[in-house]
Chain A
Amino acid sequence: MTAFVPDPLTLALATLHPGALRVAVDGDLDFTTAEDLLTTAVAALDGGRLTDLHLDCGGLRICDSSGLAALLMIHRHATAAGTRLHLERRPPVLERMLHVSGTYEHLTGAPAAASRHSSTQD
C-alpha cells in the first residue's frame, strides 16, 4: 500500500478592497498545518484594521479536529478585533464537520437545525 502523503497547505492572500482580505486555503487543514493558518489569519487581522476576513475554503481537502480548533480560534480573534469572518465555498467535508461539532451557526452565522435546549454560560 502506498503511504498516504498529506497535501501541504497553501495559503494565498488577496485584498478584495480596502478593509477586506481573502485567504484562499488549499490542501489539508490538519494537525500539521492548522497552526500555519491560525498564524497567518491572526496576523492578517492586523489589529482590527480589517472589516471582513474571507476564508475561501474551496480548495480544502481535509479538515480534522485541529483544523476546526484553528477556525474557532480565528473566529474568536476576528470577533475581538471587530472583523467579520466569512467561511466561503465550504466543501461537504467541512459542512459536515461544522454540523456534527455544533459550530455551524457560530462560525457561519446561518442557523443550524433548531435545538431543544440551549443556554448561555455566564
Chain B
Amino acid sequence: MTGLTSSLGQDKTGAVWRGAPHPVLVVDAAGVIAQANDVALRLLPAAAPGASLADAAPAWLSQAHDQALTAGAAHPANGTRPAGGTPPANGTRPDGVVRGPVGEATFEARPARDGDLVAWWLSDVTDLERATRALRVERERTAFLDTASSELLSSLNLDRCMEVTARLAARHLADAALVILPPHRRRHPIAYCGPDGVVVREELAVDPETVPGLAEALQGYPPLPSRWIDPAAAPGWLARDGLGAVGSMVVSALPGHGVPAGALVLLRGGGQSCFSDGEEVIARLFAARAGAAMSAARLYAEQAGITETLMRELLPPRVRSLEGVELAARYRPSEHTARVGGDFYDLHPSAEPGQESLVVLGDVAGKGLEAAVLTGKIRHTLQALLPLADDHQRVLELLNGVLLKSGERTRFVTLVLASIRRAGGRVRLRLTSAGHAPPLIVRGDGRVEAASTRGTLIGMLERVTSVTDTVTLEPGETCLLFTDGITEAMGGPLGDEMFGEERLLEDLRQCGGMPPEAIAERVEMLASQWVGGGDHDDMAVIAITAPRGAHLSAVGGLGRGRFTA
C-alpha cells in the first residue's frame, strides 16, 4: 500500500493507523473510499482508495454511510433514527454503530466523522454475536420450557394436555404440530395446531406406518433426526391446508410412565431448513415434559374411572322407607381413593308383605382395590343367603365359610344384620352384630341403649359365634347402625383423639323423637366436624325409625296417642 493522501493525517500518523489492528475505511460524501488500512484491505480486497464503497463493501455498510451523511451527524443529538432512506436491516443504533456480515464473520462498524469524510472503524464481533445469540436462544428456550411445564401441569385432563402440547409446539417449535395418541378403538386421538394457532381435535383411523418414524415414536422408540421429506409423502391428515408443502418434520416420542403416551410431530412449511441440533434437543425436552404430563393425566383419568366404577358398584342404595319403616342413611367415603371400599350397606325389602326386611351394614378391614373387591363379594353372597335370613347365625356361618374358602384369610369384615318387621304401630328388630359395634337405640324419652348383641368378625376364624338381640321400637324411636369411621374419627383440639362412643351416646340423648334423616345427618356432621380438615375413614350411618303416623294428640310426639298409620 502506498501513497495514501488524506486530510486525516500525514504519513506518520497514517502509518500508525494503517497498522491498526482494526479495519478502517475513510469514505467521502460521494461514497468513494479515500483510505483503507492494511487490515481493511485484507478483509475487503476491493476497498482500495478510489473504489466505491457500494462496490467494495457489503450493502449494510454503504447504506449506513449514506444514512450517516443524510442524518447530518454521526451522533444525532436527539437520538432518533435518521430520517430518509430505509434503515439498514441490521438497524442503526443512535450512535450510528451498525452490524452486519462480512463473509462468514460479523462485523460492527463505528463511524467517526471529520467534515465530509467518515472514518468507519470495523471490529470483528462474530464470537460476541454468537455468544449473545446463544444466550438469547437459551433464555428463550428456558422460558419456553418453563411456560410449557406450568401450562401442562396445571391440568390433569388428558384432552387439555393434548391441546396445550399442540398449541405450544406450533407456536414455539414449528409452523404446525400434531399430538397423536396410541389408537383407541382403532382410531388415533389427534390434536392438530396449524400456523393460525387454532387447535383441532379429532379421532382418525390413520396408519402410522405411512409417516416415517411415527410408528416407532408411538412405540416409544427414541426420535429420529428430522429429515427432508418428500412433500408428496406426507399424508393429507398430516400436512394440512394453511401450511403449504412440508419442508421438514420431526417426529418425537412423548415418553410416558413406562409406556409411550403418544407422539409429537413438528412440521415446517416448504423452503424451511431442517431443524437444527439445538432445536431438536429442545423439541425432545419439550416432548419429555408433555409426555409426562399427558401420561399423568391419563393415569389419573384411569384411576378416577376405576374409583368411580367401584364407588357406583359399592354405593349404597337410596331408600327412604322399607315396608312401612322410616329409614335414613348417610355415607361419607374417605377422601383417599386408595382407601375406598371400607364401608357398605344394603337394604333388602321383604319378599312378602308382613315378612322381615333385612338391612346390612358392614365394614371391610383394609382399603383399596382388594377391599373393594371383597366388599362386592360379601354383598353378592349375602344377597344369595337372603332366604336364610331368619337365622342370622346361619347366615354368618355360611358367609364366613365362603370367605375362608376364597380368600387369603388376611382380611375380615364386621357387620350388623338387622331384620325388620312392622308390628302394628311398633317395629320389631332382630339385631346381630358380627364383630361390629352394637346398634344404639334412641328411645322417645332420650334414653340411649346399646343393643345386647355381639359376635365374631367374619372371614378369619374357623368358628364364628353370635348373640342376636330382639328390640322393639315404639313410634318415633330409632335404631342407629354405624361404622367405626364415626366412633374412631380422629380429631378434637389436637387432632389425636377419637370421637368415641361416649360422645356419640351423649349427643344421641338429645335426639329423642327426631326423624331418622335428622339423626343420621347429625351424627355424620358431628363426626365430620370432630375430624375438621383431617383424614377420616369411611363413615356410614343408618337410622331405622318406627313411623309416628299422624299423631293426633300432638304432644311433642311423645306418649301414646292414636296413629293413622
Q: Which A positions have Cβ atoms within 8 angstroms of B?
A: 1-4, 31, 64-66, 68-69, 72-73, 76, 99-103, 106, 113, 115-121
Contact = CB atoms under 8 A, between A and B. Distances in A.
Given A3-B533, A72-B412, 8 more contacts: A3-B495, A4-B496, A65-B412, A100-B433, A102-B454, A117-B393, A121-B400, A121-B404
B222 interface: no
Contact of B466 (A76, A113, A117, A121): A117
23 contacts: A1-B534, A2-B495, A3-B533, A4-B535, A69-B366, A69-B460, A73-B410, A100-B435, A101-B412, A102-B454, A102-B464, A103-B461, A106-B456, A106-B461, A113-B454, A115-B465, A116-B468, A117-B393, A118-B463, A118-B465, A119-B464, A121-B397, A121-B464
B436 interface: yes
Contacts of A118: 463, 465
A65 B435 CA distance: 11
B490 A102 contact: no
Nearest to A69: B365
B535 to A, nearest CB: 8
Contact of B365 (A68, A99, A100, A116): A68
Contact of A103 (B366, B456, B488): B456
Given A69-B412, A121-B462, A102 B533 contact: no
Contacts of B438: 100
A121 B401 contact: yes
Contacts of B491: 1, 4
A62 B366 CA distance: 16
Contacts of B495: 1-4
Contacts of A102: 434-435, 454-457, 464-466
Given A102-B454, A119-B397, A4 B465 contact: no
Contact of B410 (A69, A116, A120): A69
Contacts of A103: 435, 456-457, 461
A100 B437 contact: yes
Contact of A120 (B434, B463, B484, B494): B463
Nearest to A31: B367
B454 A1 contact: no
Contacts of A117: 393, 465-468
Interface string B191-233: 0000000000000000000000000000000000000000000
Nearest to B339: A31
B42 to A, nearest CB: 75
B411 interface: yes
B465 A1 contact: no
A35 B339 CA distance: 16
B464 A100 contact: no
- List 4 tightest A-B contacts by C-beta distance, closest first: A102-B456, A4-B495, A65-B365, A118-B465
B409 interface: yes
Contacts of B457: 68, 101-103
B384 to A, nearest CB: 18
A64 B488 contact: yes
B414 interface: yes
Nearest to B434: A102
Contacts of B436: 100
A101 B460 CA distance: 11
A68 to B, nearest CB: 7
Contacts of B466: 102, 115-117
B494 A72 contact: no
B532 interface: yes
A4 B457 CA distance: 29
B356 interface: no
B363 interface: yes
A68 B436 CA distance: 13
A4 to B, nearest CB: 4
Nearest to B537: A64
Nearest to B342: A65
Contacts of A119: 393, 397, 463-465
A73 B327 CA distance: 38
